[in-house]
Amino acid sequence: MEDLSYLLALHLVDGLGSARLKKLLDFYKSAKDIWDKSSLSDFKSLSIPEAVYYKFKEQKKSLDPEDYLLSLTKKGIKILTFFDEDYPKDLKEIYDPPLILYYKGEILKEDDFALGVVGTRKVTGYGVAVTEKLVSGLVEAGFTIVSGLARGVDTLAHKTAVKLNGRTIAVLGGGINSIFPPENLDLARKIADGQGAYLSEHPPSYPHLAGNFPTRNRIIAGMSQAVLVTEAAFDSGSLITAKYALEYGKDVFAVPGPITSSLSEGPLELIKNGARLVTSVEDILNEMGINSNQKSKSKKQKDLNLTDQEKRIMDLIENEQKHIDDIARELKIPISQISGSLIKLEIMGVVKNMGSGVYIKS
């Protein structure tokens, strides 16, 4: 659009969200004409509150649209509008797609092959293990991982993709001038530095308000070909993302967990209501009709030249996490020897230390 600067300036007006801006664009045909020619009577005829019109008039007095666009560019902020050819294909098809996306990093054509991964902020050791395992497989299969940069499952999904040199998109609930939670600032920068982007539909300085996150979730679902919920409580916001995915006609996958855990209630409820139960990345690929013939990046025991003791440890934690004391007791091997083997296996990247002496296969 030639009048991008005017569109961005209008988007700053409190109360002029995507839906109302689209009404005005349909009426005036260009953002510059809205800026130059709009009237109170026209706002009223389009059911836009009078108060919003007066906020717009105040904005005009203090803002030069071209200067504003230049200030965003100088900060490295990039813009995609609904009218651009590069706008994410699947997102364009949802009800009420964002009119504008502000982002840092790169959004590539290959990111259309994306899968949303969401879940609880209070992730357990089980949730860590299954999220890292499934995201690793999805990255190896070529998916871009889309999530919300929140604490817990979202952070794990992004970090796993970055660690494996995969691509990932972080969708924020507020403007991109500030990262929430703040401890994920370095992660956001790593994502934008060649492995994806972080983005928002809100102007860059818009606050991260609680009410923003449900609508943020529609973008995660909209950009993804399917959504995976790994661990979540019954009232988790991640179930809102799953609900949007279902509304958009997309697959929802859920990981079953211990029935004694409240953080299994969300996925189990989704499964009861038709979500696909998954325990491996192959379940997801098969359901989506994806034939993954690529060479797996995972290390096979036969290629690692493991000792008999190391092989026995790997067999023992193949399908469940175990404490080092339990490993020593079940294998009838002194704990000092087990500890040495686990350290070696961890360095090799085939075993993960979950903390407090608990280990699981990577």
- Is 87 contained in some domain? no
Q: How far apart are CA 90 and CA 223, in angstroms?
A: 6
Q: Do 278 and 320 have their domain in common?
A: no
Contact between 146 and 168 (Cβ < 8 Å): yes
pLDDT at residue 17 in the model: 86
The pLDDT value recorded for residue 356 is: 87
Q: Domain check: are 165 and 252 in the same one?
A: yes
- The pLDDT > 90 percentage for the chain reads 78
Q: What is the pLDDT of residue 292?
A: 56
Helices 212-223 and 238-247: crossing angle, nearest 10°? 50
pTM: 0.79
Q: Residue 355 — very low, low, confident or very high, per pLDDT cuts 50/70/90?
A: confident
The pLDDT assigned to 2 comes to 63
Please tell me whether residues 274 and 323 are part of one structural domain: no
Mean pLDDT of 304-329: 87
* pLDDT tens, position by position, 216-230: 999 999 999 999 999
Structure tokens at 21: 């801006």
What are the phi and psi torsion angles at 341 (to 5°)? -65, -40
Which of 329, 280, 327 has its CA nearest to residue 134? 280
Amino acid present at 272: K
- pLDDT of 294 > 70? The answer is no
**Could you read off the pLDDT of 297-315 as tens digits, one per residue?**
333 444 567 888 998 999 8
Q: Residue written as tokens 């996306």?
A: 101
Which region among 33-47, 78-92, 201-215, 286-300 has the lowest average model confidence (pLDDT)? 286-300
Indicate if 133 and 245 belong to the same structural domain: yes
Indicate the residue among 287, 312, 340 that finishes a domain.
287
296 has a pLDDT exceeding 70: no
* Statement to judge: residues 271 and 314 lie in one domain: no
Say if 94 falls within a structural domain.
no
Any domain includes 296: no
Q: Is residue 89 part of a domain?
A: no
Question: Is 305 in the same domain as 267?
Answer: no
CATH of the domain at 315: 1.10.10.10
pLDDT given for residue 352 in this prediction: 86
What pLDDT does 301 receive?
47
Across the chain, mean pLDDT equals 91
CB atoms < 10 A from the CB of 204, how many? 18
Task: Indicate whether 123 and 56 sit together in one domain.
Answer: no
Strand partners, 199: 103, 171
Q: Residue 293 domain-assigned?
A: no
> In 3D, which of 203, 241, 33 has the Cα closest to residue 117?
241
pLDDT per residue as tens digits for the range 237-278:
899 999 999 999 999 999 999 888 999 999 999 999 999 999
The answer to whether residue 104 scores a pLDDT higher than 60 is yes
Q: Residues 328, 278: one domain?
A: no
Cα–Cα distance, 341 to 262 (Å, whole number): 35
323 within domain boundaries:
yes
| Number of separate domains in the chain | 3
CA 171 vs CA 117, 124, 210, 267, 355: distances in Å: 12, 23, 14, 22, 30
Could you tell me if 117 and 62 lie in one domain?
Answer: no
CB 231 within 8 Å of CB 263: yes
> Which stretch, 115-119, 313-317, 327-331, 355-359, has highest mean pLDDT?
115-119
15 in any annotated domain: yes
Q: Which one of 233, 259, 287 terminates a domain?
A: 287
pLDDT digits (tens, 9 = 90+) for 43-88: 999 999 999 999 999 999 999 999 999 999 999 999 999 999 899 9
Q: Is the pLDDT of residue 1 over 70?
A: no
Hey, what are 195's tokens?
Answer: 């492995």
Q: What is the pLDDT of residue 295?
A: 33
* pLDDT, tens only, 13-26: 999 988 899 999 99
114 & 183 share domain: yes
Please check whether residues 237 and 307 belong to one and the same domain: no
Residue with tokens 């998916």: 143
Q: Tokens 């308000």 belong to which residue?
A: 209
Instruction: Domain of residue 9: give its range.
Output: 1-74
CA dihedral defined by 93, 95, 99, 102, rounded to 10 degrees?
-80
C-alpha to C-alpha distance for 134 and 38, rounded to whole angstroms: 51
Task: Print the SS3 string covering the chain.
Answer: CCCHHHHHHHHCCCCCCHHHHHHHHHHHCCHHHHHHHCCHHHHHHCCCCHHHHHHHHHHHHHCCHHHHHHHHHHCCCEEEECCCCCCCHHHHCCCCCCCEEEEEECCCHHHHCEEEEECCCCCCHHHHHHHHHHHHHHHHCCCEEEECCCCCHHHHHHHHHHHCCCCEEEECCCCCCCCCCHHHHHHHHHHHCCCEEEEECCCCCCCCCCCHHHHHHHHHHHHCCEEEECCCCCCCCHHHHHHHHHHCCCEEEECCCCCCCHHHHHHHHHHHCCCEECCCHHHHHHHCCCCCCCCCCCCCHHHCCCCHHHHHHHHHCCCCCEEHHHHHHHHCCCHHHHHHHHHHHHHHCCEEEEECCEEEEC
Last residue of a domain, one of 50, 74, 98: 74
Q: Do 246 and 178 share a domain, yes or no?
A: yes
Task: Give 149-193 pLDDT, tens digit per residue.
Answer: 999 999 999 999 999 999 999 999 999 999 999 999 999 999 999
Q: How many CB atoms lie within 10 A of CB 108?
A: 13
